[in-house]
Structure 1
Amino acid sequence: MSLFRRCAAQISRLRALRQLYHAFVSESSPEAKGRTLLRQWLTPAQRTQFEEQGYFDVVGCATRRRYRVQYGSVANVREIDLEGRFGPFLCFAPEGYLVPGDVMLAQKIALETDEVATLAVANRVAAVVRRADRRS
């Protein structure tokens, strides 16, 4: 085997090993673990919605209102009215630093099990609408 072929084979093995390492690290990161736990708690419809669109809808236990939980940790929940219009962002999360998947799971559980108390502590943040062509 020529020196070139030996080097090419070693480079190929090194690339494969690097890809395997990156896949392992990315799957075992706190953020990946949070997303995995979240997916396990979602209903099949919510899981499909989350995987395809990056958010899922939750129905509150007391008022039966619908809320959209978007990927993130801050001001990532919005109420949806019967006509499908969005209300203000709701900002509520567990204490301490948690990855987005863990925060979203806590938000889902809070709305589904104690909606009234959750809404009592949530801050409401109006959506900012920006115009694309703002000229002075």
Structure 2
Amino acid sequence: MSAFRPLRPGSRSRVKATRALFIAHGAERTPEGRSLRLLREWLSPMQREQFVRKGYFEAIGSASGKPYRVHLGRSANVCVLDEKGHPKEGLCFMPVGDLPIGDVMLAQKIALETDENEVNEVARKFTTSTFHFRTA
């Protein structure tokens, strides 16, 4: 028996709205909320808008100039985008330690934008067909 249930029709929009509200405001007195606030402060205006609206933001790799998409999450939440902006390959990498989600995502952003080659050396790669990335 599974602990997960499928979403009822119409509940996807509520889940999306709840996610956007938490991203935009967070529970500011919690470690998670403070980490998301710090992440938002480090995002460019365009990245911040993407993150609030879509639950992810895009970063440009420092060495190759490739676009990456960082989804809300701690692991297996980064993907390389193809020339059409579709997920091509997934990357799993994160900093050491039990960090709040915003801190993990900020570390991923900084790593991609400053030391992309190191990220590609340590990241575990996976095909995006084995994992569903949100595209909208």
Per the alignment, in what secondary structure is the counterpart of residue 84 of structure 1? coil
1:99 aligns with 2:100: yes
1:83 aligns with 2:84: yes
Tell me the percent identity: 47
**Could you report, residue by residue, the CA deviation over 1:29-75 in whole angstroms, capped at 9, with x for unpaired residues?**
00000100000000000001101111000000110000000000010
Distance 1:62 1:129, change over 3 A: closer
What amino acid is the match of 1:32?
G
Q: TM-score, length-normalised on structure 2?
A: 0.74
Report 1:53-92 matches (<5 A).
53-92=54-93
Structure in which a larger fraction of residues adopt helix: 1
Could you list the runs of 5+ residues in structure 2 that have no partner in the other structure? 1-25
**Could you report, residue by residue, the CA deviation over 1:88-114 in whole angstroms, capped at 9, with x for unpaired residues?**
210000001011100000000000000
Asked if structure 1 preserves the Cα contact closer than 8 Å seen for 2:59 and 2:69, the reply is yes
Runs of 4+ in 1 over 4 A off after TM superposition: none
What displacement does 1:129 show?
6.6
Partner of 1:126: 127
Looking at CA atoms only, which structure, 1 or 2, has the larger radius of gyration? 1
What amino acid is the match of 2:44?
T
Cα distance in 1 for residues equivalent to 2:122 and 2:107: 14
Q: TM-score, length-normalised on structure 1?
A: 0.74
Partner of 1:115: 116
Per the alignment, in what secondary structure is the counterpart of residue 70 of structure 2? strand
What amino acid is the match of 1:29?
T
- Aligned-CA RMSD value: 1.7
Distance 1:129 1:41, change over 3 A: closer
What amino acid is the match of 1:49?
Q
Cα distance in 1 for residues equivalent to 2:109 and 2:28: 23
Could you list the runs of 5+ residues in structure 1 that have no partner in the other structure? 1-24, 131-136
